[in-house]
Amino acid sequence: MKLSLYTLLLLFVSQTLIAQTAYEHNYDENKVPQFHLPDPLKTFEGKQIKTSQEWTNMRRPELYSFFEENVYGKVPGAIDDISFEVIEQGNNAINGKAIRKQVKVTLTKNKQSISYTILIYLPKNKTTAPIFMGPNFRGNHTVNADPNIIMTSAWVPNTKELGITDHKAQESSRGTRTNRWAIEKIIDGGFGLATIYYGEVDPDKDDFSDGLHSLFYSEGQLNPKPDEWGSISAWSFALSKALDYFETDSAIDAAKVVVFGHSRLGKTSLWAGASDQRFAGVIANDSGCGGAALSKRKYGETIAIINTAFPHWFSDNFNKYIENESALPVDQHELLALIAPRPLYIASAKEDRWADPKGEFLSTHFASPVYALFDKEGISTSKIPEVNQPIQNIVAYHIRTGKHDVTEYDWEQYIKWAKKHIE
Ligand code: GCU
């Protein structure tokens, strides 16, 4: 049978729609299932953890391994070589207040390599600065209108509003995400900002033939193994390697790097902070399912929905928990606990029901007993605060008005909190 192009298109669209709507989402609090939340202070074998030493030596390693093998996926070995090259520098950026540096990182494995560029702004009035470090969605050149930012040549998603139709970044997209990156406020607050375009590390599509993963394959291998890394783990790894660079640059206080991310990149910042304890603090903005939100609540996006829509983000093993959350011996509050005792900020937006603000908040509360072991103040209340009423302890949380986004308001809170707990 010969099918017309139109029929094929219809078939494709309907199949995609079926795939996307196969799993229902719930926005009704009354329909949240009853669930048992695992105790971060009890080992898988049932031993109660009573001291920070027991946490560090016994419980943390087993929890980390679980997330590594069953959720985000293991990094399959070390890289062979890493190199850094400062490819551009300017001393008069951000209204004359900042130094700009662009550093090319090259990771080599099995004689193949990938490169990505870190864009860095540092306050001029400091000899060494603490920084926020986070990946961006559409290329470094989108975070500010600064004409000196090198435009990415990597694959970018087609985006009509940005005039991108052939997966190539366009000059017209320069500065289009300025609203999400309050760089001047960050500089005025005494911090620097570093960002990378995540697509230079691994393009955000269900295709493992390219990006960082492909460097690690053995002969004939086409995909990571079931317990090996998905894209979130690869993006996190690249953030860690950027931290390797910061340790070589005296203008950056590498002991005070706060890893930041929004949405899928908030999931990424959490995993980066859990995996690399050199990060001094972690911020996850609207990170939702697979980020700060409790999976067992099944509110908004679920494990089934996320693994169907984005099969490349997590390890294949995570599929075992599709419509099977009760079998999960962990939940996302334990991912947050892996960041203890370091400062951690989780933020939600009122209208972002897809990310389950209440589930994101409850995670901070249920991770807090681990902070208490270290005498650090977490979040003791189990009642979500009112909108725009941040709680800013070592573990911090806010829910702001508005939708899924990163706003000026969010950055004002992060800067204030970081001044207290990081600087
Ligand atoms: C989708 C996805 C979320 C993700 C978000 C984003 O909505 O379902 O899990 O956080 O994209 O990254 O913007």
Q: What is the pLDDT of residues 300-331, one digit of tens each?
A: 999 999 999 999 999 999 999 999 999 999 99
Give me the pLDDT at residue 418, please: 98
* 52 is an active site residue: no
Which residue type does 200 have?
E
Instruction: Tell me the pLDDT tens digit for each residue of 120-136.
Output: 999 999 999 999 999 99
Catalytic one among 231, 263, 275, 315?
263
Residue closest to 279 by CA, chosen among 311, 246, 308, 309: 246
The reply to whether ligand 1 has any atom less than 6 angstroms from the CB of 232 is no
Contact 276, 338 (CB under 8 A): no
Average pLDDT value over all residues in the chain: 95
Instruction: Tell me the pLDDT tens digit for each residue of 214-250.
Output: 999 999 999 999 999 999 999 999 999 999 999 999 9
Better-predicted residue by pLDDT, 43 or 9: 43
Mean pLDDT to the nearest integer, 161-181: 93
Say whether pLDDT at 186 is over 50. yes
Helix (H) / strand (E) element for 81: namely: strand 81-93
Question: Confidence class of residue 17 from pLDDT cuts 50, 70 and 90?
Answer: very low
Say whether pLDDT at 14 is over 50. no
CA distances from 173 to 30, 145, 342 (A): 43, 9, 36
Q: Which tokens hold the place of 139? A: 């290329």
Question: Confidence class of residue 412 from pLDDT cuts 50, 70 and 90?
Answer: very high
Strand order in the sheet with 281-285: 81-93, 98-109, 112-123, 192-197, 129-136, 252-262, 281-285, 344-349, 395-400, 391-392
Say whether pLDDT at 3 is over 70. no
User: In angstroms, rounded to a whole number, what is the distance separating the alpha carbons of residues 394 and 114?
Assistant: 36
Question: Confidence class of residue 161 from pLDDT cuts 50, 70 and 90?
Answer: confident
Catalytic one among 25, 113, 115, 404?
404
- Which of 206, 263, 286 has most ligand 1 atoms within 8 Å of CB, for mutation? 263
Of ligand 1's listed atoms, the one at least distance from the Cα of 306 is 8
Give me the pLDDT at residue 2, please: 45
Give me the pLDDT at residue 160, please: 87
Instruction: Tell me the pLDDT tens digit for each residue of 286-302.
Output: 999 999 999 999 999 99
The 3-class secondary structure across 296-318, one letter per residue, is: HHCCECCHHHHHHHCCCCCCHHH
Say whether pLDDT at 406 is over 50. yes
- Which of 287, 351, 354 has most ligand 1 atoms within 8 Å of CB, for mutation? 354
Q: Which tokens hold the place of 105? A: 């990182």
Give me the pLDDT at residue 261, please: 99
Say whether pLDDT at 267 is over 90. yes
Q: Which tokens hold the place of 166? A: 């052939």
The per-residue b/e assignment along 328-355, b for 16 or more CB within 10 angstroms, e otherwise, is: bebbbbbbbbbbbbbbbbbbbbeebbbb
Question: Confidence class of residue 163 from pLDDT cuts 50, 70 and 90?
Answer: confident
Please state the separation of Cα 400 from the chain's center in Å. Answer: 19
Helix (H) / strand (E) element for 60: namely: helix 60-67
User: In angstroms, rounded to a whole number, what is the distance separating the alpha carbons of residues 335 and 292?
Assistant: 8
Question: Confidence class of residue 146 from pLDDT cuts 50, 70 and 90?
Answer: very high
Of ligand 1's listed atoms, the one at least distance from the Cα of 263 is 10
Instruction: Tell me the pLDDT tens digit for each residue of 57-98.
Output: 999 999 999 999 999 999 999 999 999 999 999 999 999 999
The reply to whether ligand 1 has any atom less than 6 angstroms from the CB of 301 is yes
The reply to whether ligand 1 has any atom less than 6 angstroms from the CB of 376 is no
- Min mean pLDDT across 59-73, 153-167, 304-318, 394-408 is at 153-167
Which residue type does 370 have?
V
Give me the pLDDT at residue 10, please: 52
Q: Which tokens hold the place of 122? A: 């540092």
Spacing, Cα 267 to ligand 1 middle (Å): 10
The reply to whether ligand 1 has any atom less than 6 angstroms from the CB of 369 is no
Say whether pLDDT at 421 is over 80. yes
User: In angstroms, rounded to a whole number, what is the distance separating the alpha carbons of residues 270 and 263?
Assistant: 11
- Min mean pLDDT across 15-19, 141-145, 276-280 is at 15-19
The reply to whether ligand 1 has any atom less than 6 angstroms from the CB of 330 is no
User: In angstroms, rounded to a whole number, what is the distance separating the alpha carbons of residues 324 and 213?
Assistant: 28
Spacing, Cα 263 to ligand 1 middle (Å): 6
* 333 is an active site residue: no
Residue 16 contacts by C-beta under 8 Å, 6 or more apart in sequence? none
Collapse the DSSP code of 253 into the 3-class scheme (helix H, G, I; strand E, B; otherwise coil) and give the result. strand
Question: Confidence class of residue 162 from pLDDT cuts 50, 70 and 90?
Answer: confident
User: In angstroms, rounded to a whole number, what is the distance separating the alpha carbons of residues 276 and 239?
Assistant: 9
Give me the pLDDT at residue 386, please: 98
What's this model's pTM, rounded to 2 decimal places?
A: 0.95
Collapse the DSSP code of 201 into the 3-class scheme (helix H, G, I; strand E, B; otherwise coil) and give the result. coil
The reply to whether ligand 1 has any atom less than 6 angstroms from the CB of 288 is yes
Q: Is 191 exposed, middle or buried (0-12, 13-18, 19+ CB in 10 A)?
A: buried
Give me the pLDDT at residue 18, please: 45
- Which of 21, 301, 313, 356 has most ligand 1 atoms within 8 Å of CB, for mutation? 301
Q: Is 143 exposed, middle or buried (0-12, 13-18, 19+ CB in 10 A)?
A: buried
Residue 321 contacts by C-beta under 8 Å, 6 or more apart in sequence? 70, 295, 303, 327, 328
> What is the set of domains in the chain, with CATH numbers?
62-81+120-421 (3.40.50.1820)
The reply to whether ligand 1 has any atom less than 6 angstroms from the CB of 289 is yes
Side-chain-side CA neighbours of 279 within 13 Å: the count stands at 28
The reply to whether ligand 1 has any atom less than 6 angstroms from the CB of 138 is no
Angle, CA 227 vertex, CA 226 and CA 232 arms, to 5°: 100
